[in-house]
């Protein structure tokens, strides 16, 4: 009887073993607000991002992000891309999503355009002030899958 009780207890608790889940980086990137303030260069009012404490903790760290590739070559750039959390027709540039749903990708790799999701890994940088770049930049990006 004691053996059966031990087996039942073991069975009940073995199902509750949890595994560490990978963080959804897109969820973290959504932790941003915006504040209107004068531009440092022009003095005109612009919206500047205000990142959460949790988001700041990712600044300068390696992240892995899964999304849809948007090549920027047609704008004259080489190996310049954006990665969107949403498919191309729903992304920030083409659809109604917000700027937190895309990241600028800086890489030395030539990444072939595909319509399926890909995974990139690189160093995340938060950009508060440079209007020539997106508010999220992944530098030294590498194609994982």
Three-class DSSP category at 55: helix
Please report, for the chain, the start and end positions of each structural domain, with discontinuous segments joined by +.
23-143
pLDDT for 89: 57
What is the rounded distance in angstroms from the CA atom of residue 34 to the CA atom of residue 52?
Answer: 11
Three-class DSSP category at 27: helix
Question: What percentage of the chain exceeds 70 in pLDDT?
Answer: 74
**Residue 119 — very low, low, confident or very high, per pLDDT cuts 50/70/90?**
very high
- Name every residue whose Cβ is closer than 8 Å to that of residue 23 and which is 6 or more positions away in sequence: none
Q: Is CATH 2.40.50 the right assignment for the domain spanning 23-143?
A: yes
Q: What is the pLDDT of residues 18-33, one digit of tens each?
A: 334 467 899 999 999 9
What is the rounded distance in angstroms from the CA atom of residue 106 to the CA atom of residue 49?
Answer: 20
Q: What is the pLDDT of residues 64-91, one digit of tens each?
A: 999 998 877 655 556 788 899 887 655 5
SS3 content of the chain, % helix, strand, coil (to 5): 20, 35, 45
**Residue 94 — very low, low, confident or very high, per pLDDT cuts 50/70/90?**
low
95 or 70, greater pLDDT:
70
The answer on pLDDT for 52 being more than 90 is: yes
The answer on pLDDT for 7 being more than 50 is: no
């Amino acid at each position: 009887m004691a053996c059966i009780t031990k087996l039942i207890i073991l069975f009940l608790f073995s199902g509750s073993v949890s595994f560490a889940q990978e963080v959804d980086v897109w969820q973290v990137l959504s932790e941003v607000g915006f504040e209107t303030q004068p531009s440092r260069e022009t003095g005109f009012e612009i919206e500047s991002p205000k990142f959460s404490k949790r988001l700041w903790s990712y600044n300068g760290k390696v992240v892995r992000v899964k999304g849809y590739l948007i090549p920027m070559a047609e704008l004259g750039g080489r190996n310049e891309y954006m990665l969107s959390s949403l498919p191309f027709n729903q992304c920030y540039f083409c659809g109604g999503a917000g700027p937190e749903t895309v990241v600028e990708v800086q890489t030395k790799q030539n990444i072939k355009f595909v319509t399926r999701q890909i995974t990139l890994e690189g160093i995340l940088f938060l950009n508060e002030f440079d209007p020539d770049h997106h508010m999220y930049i992944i530098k030294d990006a590498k194609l994982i899958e």
